[in-house]
Structures are given as structure tokens and as C-alpha cells.
């Protein structure tokens, strides 16, 4: 009788868990924190440095933070687009941010030598930086066996090495202050292997390796690390994706009928993740959440 009750309880828990996964657009921890965790307003007045802030997830994360009075460093290559995002951030802040609370920095993430100069610029402006949100990057669409090795190198240069280099620059500052937070936009491709995105999947797995190692080194200290792992999102990400040929862009836009998170929703979830300093957050429309859970926690079933 006792074991029957235990079995029934485990079965019921499993059913409830599965049903919940079908109803949310993130992992259950992030869904719980959205409702019961720290509000984004808890980091009002903090300084968040966002790369890739001129569009997509970076842009909408900036908006979600600005609404709660978070000070921002907006970094990307296109200054005119950054200025547009800045104006929108000031508007959405409803007076809680003034012009000097949003700093625009035009920078190329692949110009590694310039990283320290740009980060020091933000420190001079605000006095310090609290959070680095590494969001810049590009995806890929290609057959694995057709990919030119130059594409692998170019993709890793942007999606891995630039992220690692800027993070190390930020960590020098965070170590001096005794606290700080490094967040990175990874992907569900960094959790499970994604077909027709071989170089991109490899890069995101590399990011997980680097950041999980950093997190373990900083365990018990006031320097924290977050990995945000979106699935498909309505941005220009697909159009700008690498292919199998050097210098080529995929050039195909997303369709309104695609099942994807909006950039606004993804940005909101990233802002919640930053406020709560989550270790790892998954974000995607059904059925990707149940599929990802199955791949990670029940690999024998997933690979049947």
C-alpha cells in the first residue's frame, strides 16, 4: 500500500509537471520566478551593459529594463539604430530615466582590441557597471558537411571569442568591485544539437562550457553568471544568419505563421532572468519546452 501511494504520487507529479510545461513559454523555474521571484524594479538604478542592443532580443531587453528605471549602456555597430532604441527607452521609462542614464556606444564585437576602451567608457560615464549582458551574435542555416571551415572560424569569432573577451574585460572590473553579473544569450542549440546549424550549435555549446566553468570558479562569491537559451524568436536573426559559405547571409525572413516567441516576450524573460540572477533559463513556444526537458532529463527516450 505504501509503495502504491508513492508510485501514484510520482505519477501525479509527472503528469502535473508535463501539463505545466505545455502551458508555459519558458522552463518552470523561470515561469515561477516571473510570478513569485524578484521584480525587475529591484534592480532600478543598476547599470546594465547590453551588446547587440540595436535590434531583436537586446533591444527589447533594454525596453523591459528601462520601464523599471534600470540605467543602460546600449552597444552595437549601428549608432543610428542605437539612438532610436535610446529614445524609446527614455519614453518607456516614464521619467525615471534621464538622457545621461542611457549611454550609446557604437562598437564592433569582433574588434577585440577595442573592448576594454568601450567598457572603460561606460565606467567613466556611470562610475561602474553592474551587469554585462552579452547578446550580440548570429545564427546559421547550412548542411553540416557543406560548411566551409572559414564559416566555423568566423562564427566562433563573433559568437564565442568576442563574448569571452568582453566578459574577461568586465570581470576585471567586477573583481575590483567584489560583485557583478555576467549574462549571455545562448540558445536551446546550446542545450541540444540543432539540425542544419552545425557551427552555431557548436558555438553555443562552447559558450555553455566557458560560462559553466566561470560560474563554478566564482561559486560562493558575489559574481554570478546567467545563460539565456531562447528557441525561435521573431527577429531578423534568420535573415542575418551565416550559411555554409564565407560572407554569405541566409537572407530569408521569418513568416507570420511561424511558431516563435516575440522579441518583446523574450526580452521580458531575459530582464526577469537578469533581475533574479538565474543560472540558466530556457524560453520557447510549445512544444519545444517538453522536447527540451525530454532531451536533457530523459535522453534514452528522446533518442529512441
Q: What's the rounded Cα separation, in Å, for the pair 250 and 233?
A: 16
Residue 46 has pLDDT above 80, yes or no: yes
Q: How far is CA 145 from CA 40, 148, 181, 206, 303, in A?
A: 44, 9, 38, 20, 22
Say if residues 51 and 76 touch (Cβ distance below 8 Å).
Answer: yes
Strands 180-185 and 71-76 turn out to be: unpaired
When pLDDT is cut at 50, 70 and 90, the band that residue 17 belongs to is: confident
Nearest to 76 by CA among 48, 106, 100: 106
Alpha helices in 67-141 (DSSP H): 79-92, 115-126
Percent of the chain with pLDDT over 90: 85
Give the lowest-confidence range in 113-117, 154-158, 255-259: 255-259
Residue 13 has pLDDT above 80, yes or no: no
Residue 205 has pLDDT above 90, yes or no: yes
CATH of domain 26-285: 3.40.50.720
Q: What is the pTM of this model?
A: 0.95
Domain positions in the chain are 26-285
Residue 70 has pLDDT above 80, yes or no: yes
**Quick check: helix, strand or coil at residue 101?**
helix
Say if residues 50 and 62 touch (Cβ distance below 8 Å).
Answer: yes
Q: What's the rounded Cα separation, in Å, for the pair 141 and 171?
A: 33
What average pLDDT does this structure show over 135-158? 97
When pLDDT is cut at 50, 70 and 90, the band that residue 174 belongs to is: very high
Q: What's the rounded Cα separation, in Å, for the pair 298 and 152?
A: 30
**Which residues are identified as catalytic?**
200
Say if residues 56 and 264 touch (Cβ distance below 8 Å).
Answer: no
Amino acid at each position: 500500500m505504501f509503495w502504491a501511494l508513492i508510485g501514484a504520487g510520482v505519477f501525479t507529479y509527472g503528469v502535473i509537471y508535463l501539463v505545466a510545461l505545455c502551458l508555459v513559454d519558458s522552463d518552470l523555474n523561470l515561469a515561477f520566478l516571473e510570478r513569485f521571484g524578484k521584480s525587475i524594479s529591484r534592480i532600478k538604478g543598476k547599470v546594465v551593459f547590453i551588446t547587440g542592443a540595436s535590434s531583436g532580443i537586446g533591444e527589447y531587453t533594454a525596453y523591459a529594463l528601462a520601464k523599471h528605471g534600470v540605467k543602460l549602456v546600449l552597444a552595437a555597430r549601428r549608432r543610428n539604430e542605437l539612438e532610436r532604441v535610446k529614445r524609446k527607452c527614455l519614453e518607456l521609462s516614464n521619467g525615471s530615466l534621464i538622457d545621461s542614464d542611457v549611454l550609446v556606444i557604437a562598437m564592433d564585437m569582433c574588434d577585440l582590441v577595442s573592448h576594454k576602451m568601450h567598457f572603460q567608457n561606460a565606467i567613466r560615464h556611470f562610475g561602474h557597471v553592474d551587469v554585462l549582458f552579452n547578446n550580440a551574435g548570429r545564427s546559421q542555416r547550412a548542411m553540416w558537411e557543406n560548411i566551409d571551415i572559414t564559416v566555423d572560424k568566423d562564427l566562433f569569432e563573433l559568437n564565442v571569442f568576442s563574448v569571452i573577451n568582453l566578459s574577461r574585460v568586465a570581470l576585471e572590473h567586477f573583481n575590483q568591485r567584489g560583485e557583478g553579473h555576467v549574462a549571455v544569450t545562448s540558445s536551446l542549440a546550446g542545450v541540444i544539437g540543432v539540425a542544419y546549424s552545425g557551427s552555431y550549435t557548436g558555438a553555443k555549446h562552447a559558450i555553455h562550457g566557458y560560462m559553466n566553468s566561470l560560474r563554478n570558479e566564482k561559486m560562493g562569491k558575489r559574481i554570478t553568471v546567467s545563460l539565456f537559451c531562447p528557441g525561435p524568436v521573431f527577429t531578423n536573426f534568420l535573415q542575418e544568419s551565416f550559411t555554409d559559405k564565407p560572407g554569405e547571409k541566409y537572407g530569408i525572413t521569418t513568416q507570420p505563421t511561424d511558431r516563435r516567441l516575440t522579441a518583446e516576450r523574450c526580452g521580458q524573460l531575459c530582464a526577469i532572468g537578469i533581475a533574479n540572477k538565474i543560472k540558466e533559463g530556457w524560453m520557447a513556444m510549445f512544444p519545444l519546452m517538453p522536447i527540451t526537458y525530454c532531451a536533457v532529463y530523459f535522453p534514452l527516450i528522446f533518442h529512441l
